[in-house]
């Protein structure tokens, strides 16, 4: 019973922090990639925005792709060492500041050499916080 109460309290405070913590699009993008690298696909999927027109089948397919990406990232991490995630260049793309792009850079080793790769990631602000907008990913 004590464990259940602790879990409920943690969930409650996590919800409050998510709602009022002021996390911006850069934080959401960084957390998304960190969760992929750490192998927690459920947390990564929670940070995805899937448009209403996505059906249940499309959502399952997207989750499968995210899981596959996580496995690939974990394999790379085990092989070469760690991967660092950094964000920069937050650019709000509408007047309401509910859509943004964030430059995400993944740095680590590839084939024994230092390597980094940057991409712009689209995000959208929802009633549940900032989410990575997969509908705009290229």
105: nearest Cα among 24, 25, 26: 26
Residues of the chain with pLDDT under 70: 1-22, 136-138
Q: Is 36 part of a structural domain of the chain?
A: yes
Q: Is 77 part of a structural domain of the chain?
A: yes
pLDDT digits (tens, 9 = 90+) for 12-31: 444 434 443 358 999 999 99
Q: Is 83 part of a structural domain of the chain?
A: yes
* pLDDT for res 1: 45
- Residue range(s) defining the domain that contains residue 62: 25-133
Look up the CATH number of the domain holding residue 40.
3.10.450.50
What pTM does this model have?
Answer: 0.74
Q: Is 1 part of a structural domain of the chain?
A: no
Q: Is 57 part of a structural domain of the chain?
A: yes
116: nearest Cα among 84, 89, 88: 84
* pLDDT for res 17: 40
* pLDDT for res 76: 77
Q: Is 109 part of a structural domain of the chain?
A: yes
Torsion of CA 87, 28, 23, 86, to 10 degrees: -20
* pLDDT for res 22: 52
> Domain total for the chain?
1
């Amino acid at each position: 019973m004590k464990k259940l109460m602790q879990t409920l309290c943690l969930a409650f405070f996590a919800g409050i922090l998510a709602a009022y913590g002021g996390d911006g699009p850069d934080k959401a993008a960084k957390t998304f990639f960190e969760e992929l690298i750490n192998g927690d696909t459920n947390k990564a999927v929670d940070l995805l925005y899937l448009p209403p027109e996505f059906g249940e089948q499309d959502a399952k397919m997207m989750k499968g792709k995210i899981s596959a990406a996580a496995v690939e990232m974990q394999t790379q991490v085990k092989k070469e060492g760690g991967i660092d995630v950094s964000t920069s260049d937050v650019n709000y793309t509408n007047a309401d500041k509910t859509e943004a792009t964030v430059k995400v850079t993944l740095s680590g080793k590839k084939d024994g050499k230092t390597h980094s790769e940057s991409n712009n990631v689209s995000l959208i602000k929802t009633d549940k916080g900032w989410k990575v907008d997969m509908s705009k990913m290229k």
